Amino acid sequence: MAASSTWSSSSSLFIPREETLWYYIAILSVLSLLGQELSRCSVLANTADFEGFGDDIDDDDFSDSSLITDLPIRSNLPPSTTLTSQSDFETDHGPPLDSSSSSTPISDPTIPNKPSSNSFDFWDEDEFEGLPIEQKSTNLKSPDVAAEAGSSSKVESDSKVEVQVTPPLPKTLGSFTVEIVCVSFLIAFLFNYFSGKKENENIALAWASRFATKDSIFDKNFSLLGTGDGKDTPLLLKEGQNVFKFYASGRRFCQGMLATMDLQSRHDLMSRIYNMIVPCKDEITFEVYMNDDAMDNVVFALAKKKLAKVMHKELRDLQRFASLVTSGPNNRKWVADELMVITESKEVAGDLITETVLDQVFGDKAFPKFGKGFISMHFSDQYQGSHRKMLILKFALPDAKNMADMTRLVALVPYYIDLIGRYKLSPQARPKTEAARTKVAQEVYKELHNARQEALQKKKAEKRKMAEEAEAKLSAEVLRKREAKDRAKQMKKVMPKVKMTRAH
Amino acid sequence: MSSHGGNSSAANDPRQPSTAKPYVPPAVSPQELPIDYAGFIAVIFGIAGVLFRYKLSSWVAIIFCAQSLSNMKNIETDLKQVSMAMMFAIMGLVSNYFGPARPGTQRG
């Protein structure tokens, strides 16, 4: 079985389906691009070998000629790498300088370039394009003197030629700024990934060891702990580097409970930097799936004032059934000032916020001490989700060292499972809640009915369009025949009915 | 406040082993998964790096690939996008560092 599953996962990469076909095409295109780039590189590298092909022969042939002595001497040294104001690929070189101008430094802008007639005759723009202009320390000899002088004078003149060549600039650290920054960021990212991952795991394990191990609160309340169905199964299910889940089942009044730890993305350096600017907390959400017969008509929520208003606006069940409550019933002891209750009726609020809860967590005295991590509570029999009857409790997680701080908050989970499991509405409150539910059910039914009608109308409209299109396609003759038939039918209808009787 | 005392009797025990149900992870369709912004940005920068021959763009693509990989939840659905981004980013770096110099610039 395991082998087949691994085969199916691996085969999905090799057998092209609709989505994977595009994936393979993309891979091929990228590989072809890579091949093209590499081939271009090799071609450019090879062309460098052919540069100056047959230079020696040409130089020997032209050395005796007296006509081209004015041309600048080509050297085997590499061209100067001094930058010019022109771009690299738009060169506009003029003809070479004559003997008089070549002796003067190039940097002098006052002397104009005056090419001699004989040098201009041999100037080929294409061939000499991009050649560096070389400076000579002494004036070149005239053709007559050059002819008279022997081989010794030739050597002397050659030794006097100086070519200005600047060596290639050495690469400094400044030229690799982008690379240094990016590589160092990647290294930091890698280190942070492992350290952040470990940090998150420590928090999750600290919570599990405190509340989900042997003789802990969940062990005493649930018969099955962990996501597996065996004995030695892991307690926590790791869904991501920052999401851990704990499941428990086998308890009265409920089908099961799922605790989801949504921690900060400590493993992600970018998220960590963002969290430094915009701080956020590690959260744990308890979702209790209640039995259908165990929960009465209850829609109730408790949260900090700001969040309570947001919840009332956004959550469908609270929007439809509940309203914000500012004060407690019959001026009795009530929740801390920071908190706000959203409930269907004050009776429900009074019954669910008991004296015990106020003393332990939600009271004015207890809340600053023990309710620091409290975020929200939401109990509903009309929850819009996979399960209808739900209890959702949300708390902030403390550090791994201070996990004991949330003991009282975690104790609220089994307490409210039992409280709501046993809770029954009074005969006075029940009719109101049931009326509200029937009203909502009717609204939902109407919405569905309207949606169905709209769908039917759309279908009819589409059919009409199709029929019209088909008619438009029909030829003129067929249309004439149809019209004739229609006329005949109408005539028959209009004609008076005559009864024929036979005379015997 | 806990619904279960330390030395409670069997009658008061809230546990019911007969009703225990093993955990079944909810089936999540690829459409319901959160959008992988890092992967998408990585693809964009990777393509830009290859087409426009920007070193920085390819490096940024590599960084976003790393972020996408670190935040990956579902390998089946996420790996394709990340691998595409990775290929474009590496391709960009290869063409920038080993390919011919861009016209108008000096090869360093």
pLDDT at A282 over 90: yes
R_g of chain B, CA atoms, integer Å:
26
The mean pLDDT of chain A is 74
Among the residue ranges A15-29, A107-121, A367-381, B21-35, the one predicted with the least confidence is A107-121
Query: CA A122 to CA A393: how far, in whole Å?
Result: 93
| A415 contacts chain B (CB < 8 A) | yes
Using the structure block, give the residue that is written with the tokens 């691998």. B83
As a whole number of angstroms, the distance between CA A121 and CA A132 comes to 20
What local confidence, expressed as pLDDT, does residue A302 receive? 93
**Domain assignment present for B27:** no
CA of A428 vs chain B CAs: smallest distance (Å): 29
Q: Tell whether B102 is within 8 A of chain A (Cβ).
A: no
Collapsing DSSP to helix, strand or coil, A396 comes out as strand
Nearest chain B residue to A193 by CA distance is B70
Distance CA A165, CA A154 (A): 23
pLDDT higher than threshold 80 for residue B103 = no
Angle, helix B37-52 to helix B75-97, in steps of 10 degrees? 20
Instruction: Say if residues A247 and B23 touch (Cβ distance below 8 Å).
Output: yes
Smallest CA–CA distance, residue B57 to chain A, in Å, is 10
For A271, the closest chain B residue by CA position comes to: B67
Q: Give the single-character DSSP code of A502.
A: -
Of A120-134, A220-234, B13-27, minimum mean pLDDT range: A120-134
Of A175, A223, A386, the CB nearest to B26: A386
Tell me how far CA of residue A421 lies from CA of A18, A288, A382, A388, in angstroms: 50, 12, 16, 15
Name the residue facing B91 among A19, A30, A226 (closest C-beta). A30
The structure tokens listed for A230 are 């065996």
Tell whether A88 lies on the interface with B, counting CB pairs under 8 A: yes
Closest chain A residue to B106, measured at CA: A88
Residues contacting B106, CB < 8 A, separation 6+: A88
pLDDT at position B83 is 87
pLDDT at A5 over 50: no
Confidence at residue A145, expressed as pLDDT on a 0 to 100 scale:
47
> CB of A385 within 8 Å of any CB in chain B?
no
Is the pLDDT at A439 greater than 70, yes or no?
A: yes
pLDDT in the model for residue A477 = 67
Q: Which of A110-119, A294-303, A338-347, B57-66 has the lowest average pLDDT?
A: A110-119
- Name the more confident of A120 and B12: B12
CB contact under 8 A, A251 and B62: no
Residue A271: strand, helix, or coil:
helix
Is the alpha carbon torsion for B6, B9, B14, B15 positive or negative?
A: positive
Q: Is the pLDDT of residue A140 over 50?
A: no
Q: What single DSSP character describes residue A267? A: T
- What share of chain A in percent tops pLDDT 70? 62
Chain A CB within 8 Å of residue B87 CB: yes
Q: Would B11 be classed as within a structural domain?
A: no
The string of pLDDT tens digits covering residues B30-88 is 766 777 889 989 999 999 998 887 788 999 999 999 989 888 876 666 677 788 888 88
Looking at residue A119, its pLDDT comes to 52
Decide if A193 contacts A267 (C-beta within 8 A). yes
Residue B41 lies in a domain: yes
Q: What local confidence, expressed as pLDDT, does residue A13 receive?
A: 46
CA nearest to B72 within chain A: A240
pLDDT value of residue A414: 95
Tens digits of residue pLDDT in A40-82: 555 555 555 555 555 454 544 444 444 444 555 544 555 545 4
Give the domain ranges of chain A.
Answer: 64-169, 180-425
Which residues in chain A have Cβ-Cβ distances shorter than 8 Å to B94?
A: 34, 37
Range of lowest pLDDT (A319-323, A446-450, A459-463, B78-82):
B78-82
* Alpha-carbon Rg for chain A in angstroms: 45
Report pLDDT digits (tens) over A358-396.
988 999 889 998 897 999 999 998 887 887 788 999 899
Q: Residue A347: which pLDDT band, with cuts at 50, 70 and 90?
A: confident
Q: Which of residues 293-352 of A touch B (CB under 8 A)?
A: none
Amino acid present at A481? K
pLDDT at A6 over 50: no
- pLDDT, residue A253, reads 92
3-state secondary structure of A447: helix
Residue B37, chain A, CB below 8 Å: the answer is no
Domain extent for B61: 34-97
- The C-alpha atoms of residue B104 and residue B99 are separated, in whole angstroms, by 15
Share of chain A above pLDDT 90, in %: 25
Q: Per mean pLDDT, which range of A258-267, A391-400, B24-33, B83-92 is the poorest? A: B24-33
Round to whole Å and give the CA distance between A200 and A238.
Answer: 11
Please indicate if any CB of chain B lies within 8 Å of the CB of A24: no
Retrieve residue A158's tokens.
């050659």
In a domain, B13, yes or no: no
- Given pLDDT bands bounded at 50, 70 and 90, which one contains residue A437? confident
Q: Are B73 and A89 an interchain contact pair (Cβ–Cβ within 8 Å)?
A: no
Residue A307's pLDDT is 92
- Residue B105's pLDDT band, with cuts at 50, 70 and 90, is low
CA angle in degrees (0–180, nearest 5) for A221-A222-A226: 135
Please give the backbone phi and psi of residue A249, each rounded to the nearest 5 degrees, phi first: -150, 170
Residue B38 covered by a domain: yes
Min Cα distance B102 → chain A (Å) is 11
Q: Which range is least confidently modeled, A105-119, A324-338, A490-504, B31-45?
A: A105-119
